[in-house]
Amino acid sequence: MDGISGRRMSKIADSNTNEYSYDELTRRTVVELGNNANTIYEYDLGNRLTNNIDDGNSITFDYASYDNVGSGLSMKIDNANAPIYT
């Protein structure tokens, strides 16, 4: 761990150790699986997931509309199937 971020947790499953890293706001930032597959999570200033990078493949989350308190009303994912959630 780099010393800047928050916590790290390990879980052992099927003789593999999975590492979960969290930032100072307790948001998951990295998952390192025992099979050397890694996932990185990025967030915007509103604590919304904006990017999920899984072994080089990136999925971007776009929150298109918000209610009066800033909660997302719809979300689009930029992959080939591009679902829109409302």
Cα–Cα distance, 56 to 74 (Å, whole number): 26
pLDDT above 80 for 42: yes
Cα–Cα distance, 53 to 74 (Å, whole number): 21
Mean pLDDT, residues 13-35: 84
DSSP 69: T
pLDDT confidence of residue 4: 47
Q: 29: pLDDT confidence band, cut at 50, 70 and 90? A: very high
pLDDT confidence of residue 61: 75
The pTM assigned to this predicted structure is 0.64
Cα–Cα distance, 26 to 50 (Å, whole number): 16
Cα–Cα distance, 24 to 59 (Å, whole number): 23
pLDDT confidence of residue 75: 64
What tens digit of pLDDT does each residue of 48-83 get? 888 888 877 777 777 666 777 777 666 666 655 555
pLDDT confidence of residue 59: 76
- In terms of Cβ atoms closer than 10 Å to its own Cβ (0-12, 13-18, 19+), residue 17 is exposed
Cα–Cα distance, 61 to 56 (Å, whole number): 16
Residue extents of the structural domains in the chain: 8-85
